[in-house]
Amino acid sequence: MAYKHVNSKGVTYYLNSKKVTLRGGKEQPIYYFSKDERPEGVDLPEGKVVKENPRNGFLTVSNK
């Protein structure tokens, strides 16, 4: 089950992740939110926190 977060506007978002390859060849996970549950859904990683933009309710994952 994916991590879910309800923003200040009352919309529920689910956390997803996928691995991308950077220009230097290093693989790194990226995190993004969607309005529907997807197979790539993940729990919130340890050491990360969800922040919300107060103007538009956009969610981001960042370090503590």
Model confidence pLDDT, tens digit, residues 23-57? 999 999 999 999 999 999 999 999 999 999 999 99
Between CA 3 and CA 14 the distance in angstroms is: 6
Length of the chain: 64
Residue 1 in this model has a pLDDT that exceeds 90? no
Number of domains observed in the structure of the chain: 1
C-beta separation of 17 from 8 below 8 A: no
Find the domain containing 58 and state its range: 4-63
Query: What's the mean pLDDT in 6-34?
Result: 96
The contacts of residue 6 (CB under 8 Å, 6+ apart) are: 12, 13
- Helical residues (DSSP H) of the chain, grouped into ranges: none
